Amino acid sequence: MSLHDSLVVIDGTQYSNWNRQIFEEMREGGVAAVNATIVYWENARETLSRIAEWNARFERHADLVMPARTMNDVLVAKRSGRIAILYGLQNCSPIEDDIGLVEVFRDLGVRTMQLTYNNQSLLATGCYEACDGGVTRFGRAVIEEMNRVGMIVDMSHSAERSTLETIALSKRPIVISHANPSFFHAAKRNKSDAVLRALAERGGLVGFSLYPFHLKNGSRCTTGEFTDMVARTVDMIGVDHVGIGSDLCQAQPYSVLEWMRNGRWSKQTDYGEGSAEHAAWPDPVNWFRSNADFPKLTEALARAGFSDAEVAKIMGGNWMRILCDAERRD
């Protein structure tokens, strides 16, 4: 058995155009579990429909995918050659202004929720806002409730002050499921050294993103540049606090990109990073085009000098630990 085949590979974020081909690529790539985004701007009723769509996929492709009711299901999926699906919300829109919906969605399988998606929300400030007011009163209550029911707080698209306050407020470790260090590339959504250090001090995790707009040299980023970033981050915060959050959006049409950026809040195309060059889906890096390429990540990390045990943590072990810990409710 190769090193990669022995791993429990967990991807902290994807929003692909889910179909049988992608599930087969996941199996080919040895992916045991993925935190699948089901929401960007959807309200509560629409989120229920997204969950119903996943129920239909589980029925239609039962030989390839299964719901992760508990983290033990990830191990079951690994042994049976399937992929366990965990739900993630990239915005707080599904809970609307009702704190009771936090527990409702956790009981339906939602494991992570971002407090913001780029913009100011009812809970905190997004990374594209000019002024960061920090966590709101409602945000403080929601963080406490998420801690209680075992839903992990995600600050991938949040602004600096809001992120630092959330790390301090949360009684449980939080995650930045899909972002990179600012020292690697100065995208608005990438995170400062101060955020990464605070995250690690409270037991949290950052999932490294393969989305080209957040990589050094974009689509031309090499495996060596990527693993240098991983190594420098590990030197800064330790190997127990890093993972993969690929942010793969395989086979999605442009209309989905518009929905992610604009939702219902804007009539204008929101380029996010502030340039029309970001108007379309970026070309992927040539060494990570689909889920089938996950073995290349393992190979690159091993080639960069990480031990087998360190590779196991980065490729999924750390995600497994933090997700298992979250299952233990207060």
DSSP letters spanning 266-293: -SS---SSSSGGGSSPPPPPTT-SSGGG
In this structure, are strands 83-89 and 152-154 parallel, antiparallel, or unpaired? unpaired
- pLDDT value of residue 103: 98
The mean of the pLDDT values for the chain is 96
Looking at residue 114, what is its pLDDT?
A: 98
Averaged over 298-305, what is the pLDDT?
Answer: 98
Q: What pLDDT is recorded for position 279?
A: 72
Q: 36 pLDDT band (50/70/90 cuts)?
A: very high
Closest residue by Cα to residue 102 from 140, 132, 66: 140
CATH of span 3-249+282-327:
3.20.20.140
Q: Is the pLDDT of residue 274 over 70?
A: no
The end-to-end CA distance of the chain, in Å, is 39
Residue 272's pLDDT band (cuts 50, 70, 90): low
pLDDT, tens only, 127-168: 999 999 999 999 999 999 999 999 999 999 999 999 999 999
* pLDDT over threshold 60, residue 276: no
> Residue 269 pLDDT > 90, yes or no?
no
**What pLDDT is recorded for position 232?**
98
Taking each helix axis from N to C end, the angle separating 137-149 and 160-169, rounded to the nearest 10 degrees, works out to 50
User: Which H or E run includes 110?
Assistant: strand 110-114
Q: Is the pLDDT of residue 204 over 70?
A: yes
Task: Tell me the C-alpha to C-alpha distance, in Å, between residue 141 and each of 41, 86, 135, 219.
Answer: 21, 24, 10, 40
Q: What is the pLDDT of residues 42-69, one digit of tens each?
A: 999 999 999 999 999 999 999 999 999 9
> Residue 277 pLDDT > 60, yes or no?
no
